[in-house]
């Protein structure tokens, strides 16, 4: 029976142990969840908000409400920056709003870096990014993106791939892609139009190219059906009719004429019609010029591609028509565009005024942000502004630079010392020959010549740099032969200090503290080139952003003396001499006798201080020596005297204490005395209230220390 009781007791004990262990485990899990659940709920709420923004942005996108789609996408990304769809919507909206490509690239790249797609997929973003690469002249990057595994072979991808191949000169591969894709998608006229337009652009274009002729023949036979989608197929196809009738010139000409007439009958307008119809013999030179007249005179249409203008001019032989073209160009006030790398994207735009360049813009990487802009006066540049470099160049007699300004420094150059320009203005050889008069166009220089800072400083006669001494301040330096002559410190367009240099070394600087036009402070500088590092903080604050590497004389300068003359009578009220060993000597002048009245000397270690004041009654010098701020020795006119602390105040007596309460009276008088905030002196008659003896006392206040000395009668 005892064994049974023991067994039941053990079982009961085990049961309670298990129950206790479970309760502890449950409590532990509960505690962990309490700290974990809030984080989960916040993330869930953010995800839910981002999904709501995604749905709204998607609906706005489908409704073509680009601004609202962009706003919702940006709002949603604040809650979930890992949503690929939101980044993609942002890119689409920016594109539809005609924002610069540079703004579109980042959200596209962010979209491709994510994997959580909901409505779209990576392929859509890859195609759009490939398109952006193509439009910014990055054809190789476009091909790499499309060819990256898994390779994109969608119709849109093939269209972009063919364009990129034309750009890099791989003509055969481009043709093969066009042939294959046009076979799969015969209704898509873009491939035929791409083929016709890009083949015409090739300098080596020739109708005897068998492969090209075969593909051209294929598309020529389908012009009727292809033109339903894009009427311009007829216009471009008219230049390839010899491919269909290589041996029958009449049949080729008839087909060319029919295609051009059919295109014209649709009411379309295109500069190329004037050129193609003239080549075909469909219209005369005069009729061709009349057709093109709106591009020269109509403000809504007067943008001309230079290559097309040149091609048209080459067809003219009639002198009267050439003269009329000259008149048109001489009065032309519109835009001529240039495609420098022949990728069908404009690199240079020139706004003409009365036949001369007025404004030239250059977008090197075609991302919608100008590389530089040149403003011209009757065709001659007078100012060039670089966007990304934040550089502005002003010309005197172009291409001689008069001044330059970047984000920090403004340079005024010595006249006719630097000749530099990113563009040349030259007569267009073909057009000038046809019209028998010089017609000027810009020639962009291929090399971006760097303007070194050292070169600019050596040929500048004035430079202006930002200053850190005051807010909204700058410093203008006058330079001669690369050596600093003087400088003016300016705050909010008002000068407040000027400095004079000798052999490039600052001698002194006068400062107008209260900006009233009078310079009350004179700073005198010393030069110690062997201890350059010691004076770096001074150089940083004093000289602004001027590079010390170009003006090495600024290294090692230190403030050696400070002179304050508030009443501008050439007699200072205060001077301070800074010693090279770290000590300093300060002097105060209370009257106009040019003699100092109080002198303060601080030694290099900062612990030992010596002060002297001139007894105004006896004209003797009283010298007080301090250690750690406490007076320890007094020498009065060469005689050592005791220094006694007044028991009732922070007052020290030189020699002897005249009596109780006098120190406090003198302190009050000194506090009411006019004078420097650092040094004050007074002479007073005081009476000892105990024995009624009177004393004549000289009292001095130096900072928060007070001294008094009885003057013997």
pLDDT digits (tens, 9 = 90+) for 364-375: 888 888 889 999
Predicted local distance difference test score (pLDDT) of residue 660: 85
Q: Is 353 exposed, middle or buried (0-12, 13-18, 19+ CB in 10 A)?
A: middle
CA nearest to 160, candidates 180, 141, 134: 134
In this structure, are residues 394 and 402 in contact, taking their beta carbons and an 8 Å threshold? Answer: yes
Helix 139-147, helix 122-135: angle, nearest 10 = 160
Predicted local distance difference test score (pLDDT) of residue 447: 61
Q: What angle do CA 643, 647, 648 make, to 5 degrees?
A: 125
In this structure, are residues 332 and 353 in contact, taking their beta carbons and an 8 Å threshold? Answer: no
Alpha helices of 99-204 — where are they, by DSSP H? Answer: 101-112, 122-135, 139-147, 155-168, 171-184, 190-201
Can you give 190-259 as a three-state secondary structure string? Answer: HHHHHHHHHHHHCCCCCCCCHHHHHHHHHHHCCHHHHCCCCCHHHHHHHHHHHHHCCCCHHHHHHHHHHH
Return the half-sphere exposure (C-beta side, CA atoms, 13 A cut-off) of residue 282. 23
Token pair for 406: 């970047």
pLDDT at 323 over 90: yes
Q: How far is CA 565 from CA 510, 525, 575, 596, 675, in A?
A: 11, 17, 9, 13, 14
Which residue(s) pair with 374 in the sheet? 360, 384
Which residue(s) pair with 475 in the sheet? 465, 489
- Least confident interval from 29-38, 149-158, 350-359, 499-508: 29-38
Alpha helices of 485-543 — where are they, by DSSP H? Answer: 536-543
Of 81-95, 201-215, 612-626, the range with the highest mean pLDDT is 81-95
Predicted local distance difference test score (pLDDT) of residue 20: 41
Taking phi over 0 as left and psi of -120 to 50 as alpha, with beta for the rest, 370 belongs to beta
DSSP 442: E
Binning the chain into helix, strand and coil, the percentages to the nearest 5 are: 40, 25, 35
Q: Is 517 exposed, middle or buried (0-12, 13-18, 19+ CB in 10 A)?
A: exposed
All domains of the chain, ordered by start, with CATH? 46-262 (1.25.40.10), 269-451 (no CATH), 461-564 (no CATH), 611-710 (no CATH)
Percentage of the chain with pLDDT > 70? 89
CA distance 347 to 365: 8
Chain-centroid distance of CA 700 in Å reads 57
Predicted local distance difference test score (pLDDT) of residue 32: 43
Percentage of the chain with pLDDT > 90? 49
Predicted local distance difference test score (pLDDT) of residue 353: 94
Secondary structure of residue 182 in the 3-state scheme: helix
Return the half-sphere exposure (C-beta side, CA atoms, 13 A cut-off) of residue 528. 18
CA distance 173 to 143: 12
Q: How far is CA 160 from CA 138, 148, 174, 583, in A?
A: 12, 14, 10, 75
- Least confident interval from 212-221, 342-351, 686-695: 686-695
Predicted local distance difference test score (pLDDT) of residue 13: 42
pLDDT at 328 over 90: yes
Predicted local distance difference test score (pLDDT) of residue 11: 43
- Least confident interval from 5-19, 426-440, 647-661: 5-19
Neighbours of 570 (CB within 10 A): 8
Q: How far is CA 210 from CA 173, 236, 579, in A?
A: 15, 19, 91
Of 447-456, 491-500, 637-646, 663-672, the range with the highest mean pLDDT is 491-500
Q: How far is CA 573 from CA 521, 593, 597, 611, 675, in A?
A: 10, 11, 10, 17, 10
DSSP 530: G
Token pair for 340: 């420098």
DSSP 147: H
CA distance 344 to 167: 9
Predicted local distance difference test score (pLDDT) of residue 25: 39
In this structure, are residues 499 and 509 in contact, taking their beta carbons and an 8 Å threshold? Answer: yes
Kindly report the pTM of this predicted structure.
0.76
In this structure, are residues 551 and 522 in contact, taking their beta carbons and an 8 Å threshold? Answer: no
Taking phi over 0 as left and psi of -120 to 50 as alpha, with beta for the rest, 281 belongs to left
CA distance 451 to 391: 11
Mean pLDDT on 85-112: 93
Token pair for 298: 């109509």
Return the half-sphere exposure (C-beta side, CA atoms, 13 A cut-off) of residue 625. 10
Q: How far is CA 519 from CA 150, 570, 691, in A?
A: 75, 11, 53
Largest CA distance in the chain: 143
- Greater confidence (387 vs 266) lies with 266
pLDDT at 592 over 70: yes
Return the half-sphere exposure (C-beta side, CA atoms, 13 A cut-off) of residue 501. 20
Predicted local distance difference test score (pLDDT) of residue 387: 81
């Amino acid at each position: 029976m005892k064994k049974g009781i023991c067994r039941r007791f053990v079982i009961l004990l085990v049961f309670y142990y298990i129950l206790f262990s479970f309760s502890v485990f449950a409590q532990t899990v509960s505690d962990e969840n309490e700290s974990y659940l809030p984080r989960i709920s916040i993330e869930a709420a953010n995800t839910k908000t981002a999904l709501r923004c995604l749905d709204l942005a998607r609906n706005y996108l489908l409704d073509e409400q680009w601004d609202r789609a962009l706003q919702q996408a940006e709002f949603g990304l604040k809650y979930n920056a890992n949503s690929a769809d939101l980044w993609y919507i942002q890119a689409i909206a920016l594109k539809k709003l005609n924002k610069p490509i540079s703004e579109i690239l980042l959200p596209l790249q962010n979209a491709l870096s994510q994997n959580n797609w909901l409505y779209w997929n990576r392929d859509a973003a890859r195609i759009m990014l490939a398109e952006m690469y193509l439009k910014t002249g990055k054809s190789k990057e476009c091909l790499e993106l499309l060819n990256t595994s898994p390779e994109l072979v969608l119709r849109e991808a093939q269209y972009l791939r063919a364009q990129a191949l034309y750009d890099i000169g791989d003509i055969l591969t481009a043709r093969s892609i066009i042939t294959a894709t046009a076979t799969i998608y015969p209704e898509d006229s873009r491939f035929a139009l791409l083929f016709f337009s890009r083949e015409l652009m090739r300098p080596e274009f020739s109708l005897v190219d068998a492969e090209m002729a075969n593909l051209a023949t294929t598309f020529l036979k389908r012009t009727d059906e292809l033109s339903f989608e894009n009427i311009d197929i007829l216009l471009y196809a008219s230049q390839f009719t010899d491919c269909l009738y290589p041996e029958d010139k009449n049949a080729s000409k008839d087909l060319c004429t029919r295609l051009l007439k059919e295109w014209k009958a649709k009411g379309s307008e295109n500069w190329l019609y004037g050129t193609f119809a003239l080549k075909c013999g469909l219209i005369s030179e005069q009729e061709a010029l009349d057709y093109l007249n709106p591009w020269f005179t109509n403000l809504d249409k007067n943008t001309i591609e230079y290559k097309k203008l040149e091609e048209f001019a080459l067809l003219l032989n009639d002198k009267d028509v050439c003269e009329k073209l000259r008149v048109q160009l001489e009065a032309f006030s519109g835009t001529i565009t240039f495609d420098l790398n022949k990728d069908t994207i404009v690199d240079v735009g020139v706004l003409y005024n009365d036949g001369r360049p007025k404004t030239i813009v250059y977008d090197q990487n075609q991302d919608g942000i100008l590389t530089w802009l040149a403003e011209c006066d009757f065709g001659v540049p007078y100012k060039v502004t670089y966007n990304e470099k934040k550089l502005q160049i002003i010309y005197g007699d172009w291409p001689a630079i008069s001044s330059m300004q970047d984000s920090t420094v403004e340079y005024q150059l010595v006249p006719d010392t630097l000749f530099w320009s990113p563009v040349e203005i030259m007569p267009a050889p073909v057009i000038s020959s046809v019209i028998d008069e010089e017609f000027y166009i810009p020639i962009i220089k291929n090399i971006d010549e760097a303007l070194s800072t050292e070169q600019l400083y050596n040929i500048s006669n004035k430079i202006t740099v930002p200053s850190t001494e005051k807010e909204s301040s700058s410093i203008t330096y006058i330079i001669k032969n690369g050596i600093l002559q003087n400088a003016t410190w300016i705050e909010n367009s008002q000068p407040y200090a000027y400095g004079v240099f000798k052999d490039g070394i600052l001698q002194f600087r006068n400062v107008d503290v209260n900006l009233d036009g009078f310079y009350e402070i004179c700073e005198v500088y010393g030069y110690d080139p062997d201890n350059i590092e010691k004076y770096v903080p001074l150089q940083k604050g004093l000289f602004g952003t001027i590079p010390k590497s170009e003006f090495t004389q600024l290294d090692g300068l230190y403030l050696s003396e400070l002179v304050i003359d508030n009443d501008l009578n050439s007699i200072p009220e205060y001077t301070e001499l800074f010693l090279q060993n770290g000590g300093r000597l300060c002097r105060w002048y209370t009257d106009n006798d040019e003699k100092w009245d109080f002198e303060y000397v601080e030694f290099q270690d900062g612990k030992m201080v010596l002060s002297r004041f001139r007894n105004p009654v006896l004209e003797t010098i009283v010298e007080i020596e301090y250690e750690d701020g406490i007076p320890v020795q007094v020498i009065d006119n060469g005689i050592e005297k005791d220094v006694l602390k007044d028991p009732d105040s922070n007052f020290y007596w030189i020699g002897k204490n005249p009596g109780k309460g006098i120190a406090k009276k003198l302190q009050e008088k000194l506090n009411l005395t006019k004078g420097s905030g650092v040094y004050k002196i007074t002479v007073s008659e005081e009476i000892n209230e105990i024995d009624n003896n009177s004393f004549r006392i000289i009292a001095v206040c130096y900072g928060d220390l007070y001294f008094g000395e009885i003057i013997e009668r």
